[in-house]
A and B are shown apart, each in its own frame.
Chain A
Amino acid sequence: MDFDFEAPLEELKEKIKLLDEKAAAGDATASSKAAQLRKKLEAQTARIYSTLEPWDKVQLARHPGRPTITRYSKEMCDDFIEIHGDRVFGDDPAMLCGFARIGDQRFMLIGHRKGDTVEQNIEYNFGMANPEGYRKAMRAMHLAEKWHLPVVTMVDTSGAFPGLEAEARGQAEAIGRNLMEMAALETPILTIVTGEGGSGGALGIAVGDRILMLENAVYSVISPEGCASILWRDGTKAPEAAKALHITSSDLAELKVIDGIIPEPVGGAHSHPEATMENVKAAIISNLKELEKVSASHLTENRYKKFAAIGRFN
């Protein structure tokens, strides 16, 4: 995917590539020119990424090159045992759940699963879960509670799937029940919005003791396109809607809806997936360490207070 704001970078990258080829052929001036341009590229990238508009971040958050939960489970974790099915209807591939380990830290990993390829995306329904996905997630959380494992949820979905069967099987009930049961879950819950936090479908696994966002992730009550077409009656006003809705990580930190921002390397998670996963790993380790010190009764009481405080009238 190409972004308008990345166009000047693409040009530079092309030039560097050509110079590198010349340098490889023995052209000494080309080699020093390439080095110069590399510095320029770095500076320009940093400048562009420090002035991104909310709508740019929407594009970044949806970038297919961002690490998916499949990669987090395989590359960031040292071990992962997937569990399947909600024990009622079926196994939703759009929701990945399983026992995960990083070093000595064991936890239950739960999250929306987008694909790394087009084929995978079709198989995983582009990360849009059905009711059985939300019910599988809840089953995994209760299992974690029973085994005294902390829970890490990773949010990356445009929303819960809007389908006939999803409605027939109770999409609304499944999400509502998760919200209620997560509030009372007697084990730590760490939520990380890694990409797209799309409305109720995101929230259905996001009632965390701590909520973190990757720097370029977004989290919103409605997609900017949807909001624009309703409130502006014009879908092309999505960039304005994105701004008005306050959906970036810094917006949400300011609103005190999230507890922290996990930095992405300059150039974004899609340019540096490994370094991004390292940052996420560090955040998981340090946050779980702190949350695991809190007693179960304090955890649920603090979680209640945390959500009760959002939108408190004064």
Chain B
Amino acid sequence: MGWFEKKVDTEAIVPDAIWQVCPSCKAHIMKDEWVKNIKVCPKCNYHDRMGCRERIKLLIDDGTFREFNDHIVPSDPLNFSDAKGPYAEKAAATVKKLGISESVITGSGNIGNTRVVIAVMDFRFLGGSLASGTGEKILLAVEHAIRFKRPFIMLSASGGARMHEGIISLMQMAKTCAAVSKLEKAGLPYISILTDPTTGGVSASFALIGDVNIAEPGTLIGFAGRRVIEQTIKQKLPKDFQTAEYLKTHGFVDHIVERKNMKSFLENLLSYRLK
């Protein structure tokens, strides 16, 4: 469940302020065009990672988003320090740098005619790792959805549980899924959207148990890391292994939806809820 196993150095792929190099096909795209195309490569359709606020802007009607619990910041239940120093310092620096309080932001907002509760994870925040603050924000958002009878939409982007909070992080998998079970009992829609990457403890908790599971094209989705699997079974893995497309073929993702169509897809899907 290591979120730094794959190190993505975004600095290295931005040679200057004008050009964006597609991380997938290496094509040089004008920055303006890249942004206008919502970080999707016009040459190869690669869906680049996106911050949580950008995602809210893309999916929720302008001016209708109300954020919940932005006072919830990382806790440090174990007083954890590693080779690089105290976790508390690293977490505080991340909050300051990104301007978000944890690896998820939650709130309510409108998608067309429907008011929904939405939670969006952000991979830039310590690899989108699931920790106590993350779990708490998701649980409180689900409880809000139940109180006001709103559909719940979860966008995952995570390398897994945050080791720095040890067992408390692991327990957030159970905590968030207990919340989802309440949603289930209340008969409220739960739509799970998997974005790149959704792995480890997040894949093995709330991300794949939606009423409908949707993924962006090419999203990495899996429980164990590719390298660990290769070392364990000592054989090469198929090229499309652990992609959204692979999971759809194997029956775990309902639909692969391009970023530009995601909002209208959700709006249409939500219209099928008659009561």
Contact = CB atoms under 8 A, between A and B. Distances in A.
B223 A231 contact: no
A311 B175 contact: yes
Contacts of A8: none
A231 B163 contact: yes
Contacts of B168: 255, 257, 310-311
Contacts of B75: 311, 313
A167 interface: yes
Contacts of B163: 221-222, 227, 230-231, 245
A177 B167 contact: no
B229 A245 contact: no
A234 B82 CA distance: 11
A181 B177 CA distance: 8
A304 interface: yes
Of the candidates B81, B208, B235, the one having the most CB atoms from chain A within 10 angstroms of its own CB is B208
Contacts of B72: 313
Interface residues of A, number: 54
Of the candidates A169, A244, A311, the one having the most CB atoms from chain B within 10 angstroms of its own CB is A311
A85 B232 CA distance: 24
Interface stretch (A74-82, A102-110, A158-166): A158-166
Given A166-B223, A200-B201, A247-B166, A311 B178 contact: no
B153 interface: no
Contact of B136 (A176, A230, A246, A312): A312
A180 interface: yes
Nearest to A173: B208
Nearest to B201: A200
Contacts of B237: 164
6 closest A-B pairs by beta carbon, nearest first, are A311-B132, A162-B224, A179-B177, A172-B203, A183-B178, A231-B82
11 contacts: A172-B207, A172-B223, A175-B205, A199-B170, A200-B200, A200-B204, A200-B223, A204-B204, A221-B1, A244-B82, A313-B75
